[in-house]
Structure 1
Amino acid sequence: MANNPMDRRAPGDRPDRPGGPGTGRGAEYTGRYVVLFDPGNHESGINALRASADIAPVERVRGSAEPASVTELLERPDVSVFFEDLAAAVVEVRPEKRHALVTTAEAESSILAAEPERLVYASPITAPHQAPTDFFPAYRSDGDVVDRQSQAEAATAQGPALDEQNVTWGLQAIRANLSAMTGRGVKIAVLDTGVDTDHPDLVGRIDATVSFVPGQSVEDLHGHGTHCIGTAAGPANPAQKPRYGVATEARVLVAKVLDNTGHGPDGQILAGLAWAINNGARVISMSLGAEVQPGELFPQTYELVAKNALDMGVVIVAAAGNASLRPGFVAPVERPANCPSILAVASVDKALQTATSSCGAINGDGGEVDIAAPGKFIISAAPGGGHAVMSGTSMATPHVAGLLAMLIQANPDDSAAQLKARLLATAFPLSQPGRDVGAGLVQAP
């Protein structure tokens, strides 16, 4: 089956949305559909789509499948790809049959959701490496300060600190440097632009890598993925100070789902999710997203996948997005972070104020911010063996992912739902409303 070539937009073709605040990116579609089936009755749904919408022949893959073959299948316009572990498919359908697909999905009880496949993006705000600027230091855990409000008052009384020579301000703010937990043995999967596999701080920390981007290896030519991996699980003693990694003894799974320009379709994200879960990830970090409109519902496919992941003991965290221009304009939390079963992470700066670009809870029913983490002027690993400074909710998200690994080490018998609840309950209250920072600033155990 051959689709009209104009229906499949190349990842690099990003027409700007005319007018409006934020990044200027509107929704971009590939021409395919993402369909989620009842795991116990997926054959009925597939057969219904074959009969009514004449979908392309279905190829079945599992999370344990050879990644190269999955990538090749996702690129082919003559097949639909069914991820058995997720009960989800990326479906090829002719333009004139799309309406039939949607109406069949609505009528067929074995089809839980059917949505157009979209492109998602990594969207950090980069900055040149610069000297550390003022920030309020981490809240003391001296034993005599128990009440968290008292901790905040103590931190404010101390005044701004300038010392970021040994530990980044972000780690100090979430108290990762004061914790005895290291995330030892816990697997964090980072779905992003890949990794610099030769980075001296990351060599020996990575358990497995995979690329679901056609024609590109897992090597990170963008920088976003390497930076996020470094923040989540960089070493306690990097080759060059300061320490920037949260869970210093966690293991890393790297899935390249965004290309070297930072773009990728939903199908590649789903492939990465299936692979990460199959390879034993307990935490999945996704510093990626796509803008949504006010009133837009969360994507059902991602939500049901995330809910199933929770049942399997896996917590997914995602960037809330950087489309706001505060204080004048606040954009809704982006997808897939707007799913109720995915932790949406906002960004705060060194003064613990909401970052100007951080998205907020404009949409309800899953579109809330869950937690906040440091995201402004974050030092972490960069391709080529060095370090870089980036800003955005993309940088806040791996702080939370790393801290979840520490929580798992401290509470190995907790379910994923219990870990989420513990994370939110122990957050440091901030002065901003919950629609901007959720439960507050994430804190290490």
Structure 2
Amino acid sequence: MKDIHPPRDEHRTTGRKLVVLSPTVNIPAMTSALSAVGMDVVVASERGGAVPPETMATADAIVFDRLHMMVVAEPSVAALAVMNELQARGILLSVEDEGFVYPLSAPGPAGQGDATWGLGAIGVEQSPFAGRGIRVAILAAGFDPSHPDFQGRKVVHRSFVPGETAQDASGVGTHAAGIACGPRTPSQGPRYGVAHEAELYIAKVLSDQGSGADGWIMNGIHWALENGCRVLLLPLGSARPPVEAYRAIGERALAQGAILVGVAGHGSHRARGDIQPTGSPANVVTILAVGAVDSSLQVADFSNGGKIDVVGPGVDVLSSWPLPRAYNTLSGTSAAAAHVAGVLALLMEADPHASALEIWRRMLATARQLNAPASDVGSGLVQAPVSATTAP
């Protein structure tokens, strides 16, 4: 399989801007002011919680009101004057370039081998929980809804990529969804999924060519939150420094009871002494950053370091794959993060009244400590809950 990942130093921008709005903004008044100077402004909640991809491509401004975020195309002189006034009044908190992110997983050896070693390492089979009643969103390259292991399950899917359906062409979205929420008893081979009774929401935010604009991802996050998803897996990233827009999004998701799970990235070559920093968007404090370990619980050679919260199984991991192949073995921090997303669903089922921040802290507190620095493994290896808990 061809490696579709860009060079680690590639920083592509779209020409649009990411704007963080004040939580106290009067959105109708703001959109009215922008519309008055000729801007075509679209509000996500007025479009059923998500903006059609084609509208995203043509609108002058897209407002994700649940997130208090906005994506803006190059404004006219008059529109720029209005935006400068809004910024001076503290309504626009930050303005950054919109960029691209990429899938973060890579092919592993063929065959099953001990591909499901990860479920044993994190204690899934000893857990009485299955993610029942929890909605998990996978924001990646789509999903293959015809896969036999997901027939009869509630799987809602939607594409946020202009001109493309939610069908997974690369396979990495189906692979991540399988690890996080695959069945207890698959049609072939060993069990590979964690939260087998969770409800799956698939947001295709990466194109078939292997990249996705920040605005597509924000559109998918807004849609997932609008649909009550409490775990949002983002198995994607880039080598950018921290982006304020993602910090604000993570904070606002936590306030709404949801946790965004990001990936450290796999640009390192630790055997050669090359450890790259955690990539965006996981390198902000409000998004959970996940690194990868192998079956010996050693840090994966490719796993980035620095800002790491927890690690998961990420080397030679078997999971679902688009038909006709049906299954594949991959390595990457995306596979590790998918295990973590599934465990979060189990923890939320174990204590349905706990806040997102309480669940986050509980996951870190119960992680298995490893003999490695926190900059490589954070609090340690994520562990599935074995009994019901009560928020303190």
Asked whether the two chains share a fold, i.e. TM above 0.5, the reply is yes
Aligned counterpart, 2:244: 300
Q: Which residue type is aligned with residue 308 of structure 1? A: R
| Whole-Å separation in 2 of the counterparts to 1:238 and 1:305 | 35
**How many residues are aligned here?**
379
CA deviation map 1:373-408 (0-9, x unaligned): 000010000000510011110111110000001001
How far does residue 212 in structure 1 lie from its aligned partner after superposition? Answer: 0.5
1:382 to 292, 303, 321: 321
Q: Can you give the 5+ residue segments of structure 2 that lack an aligned partner in the other structure?
A: 386-392
Aligned counterpart, 2:72: 91
Aligned counterpart, 1:326: 270
Aligned counterpart, 2:130: 182
Q: Is the 8 A contact 1:56 1:91 kept in 2?
A: no
Q: Is the 8 A contact 2:34 2:41 kept in 1?
A: no
Percent identity between matched residues is 38
CA deviation map 1:301-328 (0-9, x unaligned): 1111111111111111111111112141
Aligned counterpart, 2:111: 130
Cα distance change, pair 24–342 in 1 and its aligned pair in 2 (3 A): closer
Q: Does 1:114 align with 2:95?
A: yes
Q: Which residue type is aligned with residue 316 of structure 1? A: L
| Whole-Å separation in 1 of the counterparts to 2:219 and 2:362 | 29
How far does residue 81 in structure 1 lie from its aligned partner after superposition? Answer: 1.1
Aligned counterpart, 1:27: 11
Aligned counterpart, 1:71: 53
Cα distance change, pair 15–245 in 1 and its aligned pair in 2 (3 A): closer
Cα distance change, pair 317–98 in 1 and its aligned pair in 2 (3 A): farther
| Whole-Å separation in 2 of the counterparts to 1:395 and 1:63 | 35
How far does residue 100 in structure 1 lie from its aligned partner after superposition? Answer: 7.5
Aligned counterpart, 2:211: 263
How far does residue 202 in structure 1 lie from its aligned partner after superposition? Answer: 1.5
Aligned counterpart, 2:22: 38
* Structure 1, 334-343 or 98-107: larger mean CA deviation: 98-107
Q: Which residue type is aligned with residue 61 of structure 1? A: A
Cα distance change, pair 48–331 in 1 and its aligned pair in 2 (3 A): farther
Q: Which residue type is aligned with residue 74 of structure 1? A: M
Q: Is the 8 A contact 1:63 1:278 kept in 2?
A: no
Q: How does 1:215-234 map to 2 (within 5 A)?
A: 215-234=163-182
The normalised TM-score by structure 2 is 0.90
What is the aligned-residue RMSD (CA, Å)? 2.5
Q: Is the 8 A contact 1:42 1:111 kept in 2?
A: no
| Whole-Å separation in 1 of the counterparts to 2:329 and 2:78 | 47
| Whole-Å separation in 2 of the counterparts to 1:186 and 1:176 | 16
Q: Is the 8 A contact 2:12 2:100 kept in 1?
A: yes
| Whole-Å separation in 1 of the counterparts to 2:313 and 2:347 | 18
SS at match of 1:201: helix
Aligned counterpart, 1:412: 352
1:428 to 364, 368, 378: 368
1:172 to 120, 125, 142: 120
The normalised TM-score by structure 1 is 0.80
